[in-house]
Amino acid sequence: MFTVYRCTDSGAPSLSGVAGSLTALLDACLVNGYGSLPAAGWTKPFVDTGKAVYRNAAAAVARSYYRVTDVGTTWARIRGYDAMSSVDAGTGEFPTSTVISGDGLFAYKSSTADTTPRPWILLADERTALLALKGSTYWQVCLYLGDGNSDVPGDTNFAALCAFWSNADEIRNALATFDLVGAPA
């Protein structure tokens, strides 16, 4: 069952155009909990300045790692991995660096590089997390990470990551990437 986390909850973190605000939000919702809301059951196995790695709980199908680089103001970057040994070392990356260079896909945080809080809603359980952010006029999904549903017979390691292909503020730039490691050929 999903827990619904909202920016209007007592003790909720603020999401803004400040470096670190997305990782603070993910820490509060996925790992630590806040106010009367429990954490979704994820872990944070690796952390370094401006970077954090999140992993869904043992109940997840793929148990993938999601590396978030949150050093920017209006955007953070994210890439998934099958396995990681540190915040900067992993195997089975998705999307691969040949598909998108740098630190991965773009996760939208704010339309302005300042401390103005942005309205957000995050739905999460121990397997998946979905973050929606309200822009100036409408809500948009800006990040999905966690288990996916594969229609490949025998696929026991299906993870999904959905964010923006670039930091252009256009919904059509959304890209879903899926990890099918372990799927039969």
Tens-place pLDDT, residues 136-182: 777 877 888 988 766 777 666 677 788 877 665 444 444 444 443 33
pLDDT at 52: 98
pLDDT at 165: 74
pLDDT at 147: 80
CB 87 within 8 A of CB 79: no
Q: Which residues contact 44 (CB under 8 A, 6 or more apart)?
A: 27, 30, 31, 52, 53, 54, 55
Taking the domains of the chain in order of start, what are their residue ranges? 3-179
pTM: 0.86
pLDDT at 169: 46
Q: Which two tokens stand for residue 23?
A: 């990782």
* CA distance readout (Å), 104 to 59, 60, 78, 127: 26, 22, 5, 21
Low-confidence residues of the chain, pLDDT below 70? 59-61, 149-150, 154-157, 166-185
pLDDT at 182: 36
